[in-house]
Amino acid sequence: MFRKVLIANRGEIALRVIRACRELGVGTVAVHSEADAASLHVRFADESVCIGPSDPAQSYRNIPNILSAAEITGADAVHPGYGFLAENSYFADVCESAGIKFIGPLPECISLMGDKAKARDLMAKNGVPIIPGSEGIITNVEEGFEVARKIGYPVIIKAVAGGGGRGMRVVHEEPAFSDAFHAAQSEAGSAFGNDGVYLEKFFIEPRHIEIQVLADDKGKMIYFPERDCSIQRRHQKLVEESPSPVVDDRLRRELGRAATAAVTASHYVNAGTVEFLLDRDHNFYFIEMNTRIQVEHPISECVTGIDLIKEQIKIAAGKPLALKQSQVKLNGHSFECRVNAESPETFTPCPGKISAFHVPGGPGIRVDSASYMGSVITPYYDSLVAKLIVHAGTRDEAISKMNGALTEFVIEGIDTSLPLHKKIFNDPSFIKGRFSTTFLDHFLADLKK
Ligand code: MV4
């Protein structure tokens, strides 16, 4: 096992990794920016190093400073968390070159999945269903016209380096294609330094379903029951649940088979997530693979009892995966609310000092947060204040538990998304499990009426 893990992150996920290390008897090194000196991850790690100013480019994304901190403290592994350097193949590569284990997949795997057109191509070749679209990237408008005519409008133009919804354009008819194509190309070029785009048939009201996987470096792997992440606004997820209210055992096994095929095809190691779109007829299609631990991982932990972060660390340390697929049993239902510091009207981040903080409790209630009374949500980083996670025997019981927990959660001094979460958990369509990725936009439009 590792002696000491450096956590190249902040906030709740840094704290989550510190807790997992502690349980494994592994030492921890926190790194922090100047803005985060009073943060809980600094307080609860065994050691800490200041790695630069508040601007994440100069601290949490500063590779030389993070590697120096690892060398000074003698850390033998780095956990990247999510965001920042988590999907930076160069970072994973230089960690390995410096003799520090990167807790995640190999750099080659990160860059392969970072190219959405290459990932799509690999899946198609390995029997994972993909959405009808282009083979590889589209280099000019004429080529785009041809593919779009073949698959039929509406189509969606996506950046190969995108993901999470950035650099996408939906085109409903041919006259709009040319402008959208050039706009997508130039947006992708300036956002990602890569102007490659590809084409897919646009699905109107899909559900966003994802499968968590764990794979060791000996070829063993397991998949988890699906997460439904359809409740989002502008690609920011607000509520996630596992299992999905529309997936049955048979579909769950098919999704698992597709996810494990994706792992095998890419020689994937460590924790990853395979994303699918699910259409009205419950056909599913691969969209992308995330090569990091995700924000919503706790709901998968709740319904299986498996600690994903501990498994990540053990896999990176070269231990064989001790879990068999038959030991991954779906138990009950779990929801997560991402409680953000944001204005209820504009959804813009609302930084400030938390003047009162009371977290709900009781059986089946979990709060992953690095906030406390007196802590400050700064404008430098994401505006996540807490993840409120519930687990109960059935979906209805979990909804009821979430409603109680939302009522008890007190956060004062800043505006948060808690009032919106309460409204969602009282919406009849949501309660019935009837929603798609467009649910929240319609819901918010109706609220304004
Ligand atoms: C799509 C799609 C519909 N059709 N692809 C969004 C994030 C990225 N992972 C892929 N995404 C989507 N890809 C096809 N072919 C719908 C989404 C999508 C979405 C698109 C526009 C606005 C909001 C969205 C929310 C979830 C998913």
My answer on whether 212 and 194 are in the same domain is: no
Tell me, using a 6 A CB cutoff, whether residue 235 lines ligand 1.
yes
Within-domain flag for 337: yes
Q: How far apart are alpha carbons 275 and 230 in whole angstroms?
A: 11
My answer on whether 151 and 241 are in the same domain is: no
My answer on whether 262 and 334 are in the same domain is: yes
* Cβ-Cβ contacts under 8 Å for 424 (sequence gap 6 or more): 231, 238, 239, 430, 440, 443
Q: Kindly state the average pLDDT of the residues 31-40.
A: 98
Place 449 in a pLDDT band, splitting at 50, 70 and 90.
Answer: confident
My answer on whether 182 and 258 are in the same domain is: no
Q: Kindly state the average pLDDT of the residues 395-413.
A: 98
Cα of 31 vs centre of ligand 1, distance in Å, is 34
b/e 182-207 (16+ beta carbons within 10 angstroms → b): eebbebbbeebebbbbbbbbbbeebb
Residue 31, burial from CB neighbour count under 10 angstroms (0-12, 13-18, 19+): buried
Domain CATH code at residue 39 = 3.40.50.20
Domain CATH code at residue 194 = 3.30.1490.20
Within-domain flag for 108: no
> Quick one: pLDDT at residue 220?
98
Average pLDDT, the chain: 97
> Final residue of a domain: which of 151, 174, 201?
201
Helix axes 107-114, 116-125, angle to 10 degrees: 100
Within-domain flag for 109: no
Place 344 in a pLDDT band, splitting at 50, 70 and 90.
Answer: confident
List, by residue number, the catalytic residues: 292
Chain-centroid distance of CA 270 in Å reads 15
Residue 286, burial from CB neighbour count under 10 angstroms (0-12, 13-18, 19+): buried
My answer on whether 235 and 178 are in the same domain is: no
Cα of 165 vs centre of ligand 1, distance in Å, is 6
**Closest CA to ligand 1's atom 17:** 165
My answer on whether 270 and 305 are in the same domain is: yes
Tell me, using a 6 A CB cutoff, whether residue 203 lines ligand 1.
yes
Tell me, using a 6 A CB cutoff, whether residue 195 lines ligand 1.
no
Domain count within the chain = 3
Tell me, using a 6 A CB cutoff, whether residue 187 lines ligand 1.
no
Within-domain flag for 196: yes
**Closest CA to ligand 1's atom 3:** 203
Cα of 190 vs centre of ligand 1, distance in Å, is 21
> Final residue of a domain: which of 103, 118, 152?
103
Place 166 in a pLDDT band, splitting at 50, 70 and 90.
Answer: confident
Domain CATH code at residue 269 = 3.30.470.20
Per-residue pLDDT tens over the stretch 195-246? 999 999 999 999 999 999 999 999 999 999 999 999 999 999 999 999 999 9
b/e 407-434 (16+ beta carbons within 10 angstroms → b): eebebebbbbbbebbeebbeeeebeeee
Per-residue pLDDT tens over the stretch 248-284? 999 999 999 999 999 999 999 999 999 999 999 999 9
Q: How many CB atoms lie within 10 A of CB 147?
A: 18
Q: How far apart are alpha carbons 44 and 19 in whole angstroms?
A: 9
* Cβ-Cβ contacts under 8 Å for 428 (sequence gap 6 or more): none
My answer on whether 270 and 334 are in the same domain is: yes
Best probe residue, ligand 1, of 203, 289, 296 (max atoms within 8 Å of C-beta): 203
Q: How far apart are alpha carbons 28 and 10 in whole angstroms?
A: 13
Q: Which two tokens stand for residue 26?
A: 């592994």
Q: What is the residue range of 153's domain?
A: 132-201
> Quick one: pLDDT at residue 438?
96
Within-domain flag for 111: no
Within-domain flag for 120: no
Q: Kindly state the average pLDDT of the residues 92-110.
A: 98
Q: Which residue type is seen at 184?
A: A
Tell me, using a 6 A CB cutoff, whether residue 276 lines ligand 1.
no
Tell me, using a 6 A CB cutoff, whether residue 228 lines ligand 1.
no
Token pair 């204005």 in the structure block, residue: 343
My answer on whether 315 and 386 are in the same domain is: yes
Cα of 159 vs centre of ligand 1, distance in Å, is 12
Token pair 């095929």 in the structure block, residue: 261
Q: What is the pTM of this model?
A: 0.97
Cα of 381 vs centre of ligand 1, distance in Å, is 25
The answer to whether the beta carbons of residues 217 and 318 sit under 8 Å apart is yes
My answer on whether 236 and 335 are in the same domain is: yes
Tell me, using a 6 A CB cutoff, whether residue 393 lines ligand 1.
no
My answer on whether 173 and 264 are in the same domain is: no
> Final residue of a domain: which of 83, 103, 123?
103
My answer on whether 72 and 181 are in the same domain is: no
Within-domain flag for 224: yes
**Closest CA to ligand 1's atom 6:** 165
Q: Kindly state the average pLDDT of the residues 314-333.
A: 98
My answer on whether 398 and 276 are in the same domain is: yes
Within-domain flag for 127: no
Cα of 429 vs centre of ligand 1, distance in Å, is 21
Q: Which residue type is seen at 441?
A: D
Return left, alpha or beta for 94; rule: phi > 0 is left, psi -120 to 50 is alpha, else beta. alpha
Place 364 in a pLDDT band, splitting at 50, 70 and 90.
Answer: very high
CA dihedral 274, 387, 339, 227 (to 10 degrees): 30
